[in-house]
Amino acid sequence: MKTIHFFYIPILIFLVGCTSSQTGISLTLIPPDRITDKVNLDIRAGICNTENSEKLVEVQLYINDETTQNLLYKTAITLAPNSSQCVKFNMPSAGHIGLNKILLVSKEGTKKQKREKNIEILSSETRSTKTIDGAWIGLYHWSEEEGKHWNPDIKKLTNDQWREVVISMHKLNMNIIVVQETFRNQQYVGKHTIEKNGYKGKSFYPSKLYFDRMPIDAKDPIEAILSEADKQGMNVFLGVGLYAWFDFSSASLEWHKKVAKELWDMYGHHSSFYGFYVSEESGGSLDNWEKEEVTRLKRKSEIINFFKEFKSYCNQFAPSKPIMLATNSMGVPSGEDTYPELLKNLDILCPFGFARMPVDDIPGEQVAALLQSYCNKAGTHLWFDLEAFLFNDDGSLYPRPIEQIELDLTHFTNFEKTICYQYPGVFCDPDNSIKIGEPSAVKLFIDYQNYIENIKRNQLTSN
């Protein structure tokens, strides 16, 4: 029998939450899909009780087979009426090289339920796979200036063509999708505009919260992306946003709760629905670039409270699903007093901007090490938001050369996952029925395809 390692079970009791459409159990692996043997696997079992009576549930976790020798952990939990809990278990990946299957078994009296997820564990000298594990998908780039070469094409994509985008990502083993945002705020010039005039956002999906829709050809790109990702065995973060950039106020929090719940009610049945991505982003200092000390502290307090409340709320109906935030890599030492509290309620931190650090800041390598130390103490996962683009003189974005992308992949190796921004317009499969962006996007697709093929050949040779 394998050694039972220390684990942590948070007891999450809620009087509202799990709906009948999501009754039962869920299994989430962080990271999903593929990791190296230098990264521990965070296994999470979400258990929902939708009934009005207390439940006693036995939870068992196995690797590969439901046998005594492959038992990783077991426990019994008591669920109050209409409540949820999450059982967490950290499995060292060393010694499990190759393809593995994680099994969750729950027993409630004579009732037995099972869930399973596959994980590939690679032998490596580093935490990173040195490949791009996924990418952001913007359903229409927020900036017409930056998205100059993408938006005219993206706007025309049908549901079926969004499916093509998902399939083309899978060809490159980019099996994690982050939908940038599910709403576009049309009026934002500052949060005071929202407070005065109300939220003027338009949705990218058939929302019942707000009826204005973004003028794109796809009727429901979210459904298309998730349903195709189901078929391909991929994992999708849905972007809960955008309310307003860098806004973590109480009004923003309440908006995010409503949208997260609607997204879960509409799309939570998809096996590929992996977690929630909060689209607002933040500077690395976590103070919204405020100059006055009082205001800086207020912004820091807001972001801490936002994720504490948002995490607690989402756990009511999706207890195993992670929450992710992307921050930039700049000014991180100024946020040292805030990261410990923030990370308590953030599952994945995914910073960006390491290749363009200001000259008066600390080097990107030091930032990565500093953030890793914060995340290690909090038990938070640190992923890499690799910028796969560069800026033209007019501010528009274009695909970054493969040599520069390779440099980042082989240089920043402490990150357990690498997600790039963004896929449509930066990478373009030559086989797709519509070409998004410039010819250089097709070139980068082919160049990166060759890069990963070279890695595979080298691995075969070394073995």
- State whether 146 and 268 are in the same domain: yes
DSSP 196-208: HH---EEESS--S
- State whether 49 and 145 are in the same domain: no
Could you give the CA distance from residue 421 to residue 136 in angstroms, rounded to a whole number? 5
For residue 15, pLDDT over 70 is answered with no
- What is the distance between the terminal CA atoms of the chain, rounded to a whole angstrom? 29
Could you give the CA distance from residue 149 to residue 397 in angstroms, rounded to a whole number? 7
Into how many domains does the chain fold? 2
Judging by beta carbons within 10 Å of its beta carbon (0-12, 13-18, 19+), is residue 457 exposed, middle or buried?
Answer: exposed
Percent of the chain with pLDDT over 70: 92
For residue 293, pLDDT over 70 is answered with yes
- pLDDT digits 0-9 by tens, 243-255: 999 999 999 999 9
Instruction: Report the pLDDT value the prediction gives residue 14, as an integer from 0 to 100.
Output: 37
- State whether 89 and 141 are in the same domain: no
Instruction: Report the pLDDT value the prediction gives residue 148, as an integer from 0 to 100.
Output: 96
- pLDDT digits 0-9 by tens, 181-216: 999 986 554 555 676 778 888 999 999 999 899 999
Instruction: Report the pLDDT value the prediction gives residue 20, as an integer from 0 to 100.
Output: 37
Range of the domain at 350: 134-462
The CATH number of whichever domain residue 14 belongs to comes to 2.60.40.10
**CA proximity to 239, closest of 157, 375, 135:** 135
Instruction: Report the pLDDT value the prediction gives residue 150, as an integer from 0 to 100.
Output: 94
For residue 461, pLDDT over 90 is answered with no
The CATH number of whichever domain residue 240 belongs to comes to 3.20.20.80
User: If pLDDT is split at 50, 70 and 90, which confidence band does 462 have?
Assistant: low
CB atoms within 10 A of CB 138: 23
Instruction: Report the pLDDT value the prediction gives residue 232, as an integer from 0 to 100.
Output: 98
User: If pLDDT is split at 50, 70 and 90, which confidence band does 365 have?
Assistant: very high
User: Of 122, 155, 182, which closes a domain?
Assistant: 122
Could you give the CA distance from residue 276 to residue 215 in angstroms, rounded to a whole number? 24
Instruction: Report the pLDDT value the prediction gives residue 8, as an integer from 0 to 100.
Output: 38
Cis peptide before 333 (omega within 30 of 0): no
For residue 177, pLDDT over 90 is answered with yes
Q: What is the average pLDDT score of the chain?
A: 92
User: Of 122, 154, 183, which closes a domain?
Assistant: 122
Kindly report whether the global pTM for this prediction surpasses the value 0.85.
yes
- State whether 292 and 382 are in the same domain: yes
- State whether 147 and 110 are in the same domain: no
| In a domain? residue 127 | no
Instruction: Report the pLDDT value the prediction gives residue 17, as an integer from 0 to 100.
Output: 43
- State whether 445 and 301 are in the same domain: yes
- pLDDT digits 0-9 by tens, 115-169: 999 999 999 999 999 999 999 999 999 899 999 999 999 999 999 999 999 999 9
Q: Which amino acid is at 269?
A: H
For residue 463, pLDDT over 90 is answered with no
